[in-house]
Structure 1
Amino acid sequence: MSSIKKAAKVDGAWELSDNLKELRLRHLEPKRDLIVTIGKEVKALNTQPSVKITKKL
């Protein structure tokens, strides 16, 4: 069994929760690895620079 990964852009739109603390991308295939890039101009609610967050679902 090979472990070849395909790279492709995900079609869809990000959704920001009402509390402005969660960003979601719905309807993804199960066991999918994502690489998310957030621009440095995006600030956290506490105005600190964004940090790299890695979470595997």
Structure 2
Amino acid sequence: MNPCTLTTADQPHCTRPSPLEIADVTSQRAWGCLGHALRALRAVDGARIVRDLRKEGEQA
């Protein structure tokens, strides 16, 4: 699983599984754990989920 890259500089490295890929309005993407992804969706204008590995696993 991908590492969570949605932490801020003042936070420690996140070691939780990161099933969500988030994109902003410029299409810049980052992988996030559920907690950090939720915070990004609330804080970043135009942020959206572009890939959810949890759903992909259900279809396999």
Per the shorter chain, which TM-score range?
under 0.3
Give the number of the structure with larger relative contact order, counting CA–CA contacts within 8 Å between residues 6 or more apart: 2
TM-score, with structure 2 as normaliser: 0.23
Larger strand percent: 2
Larger radius of gyration: 1
- TM-score using structure 1 length: 0.24
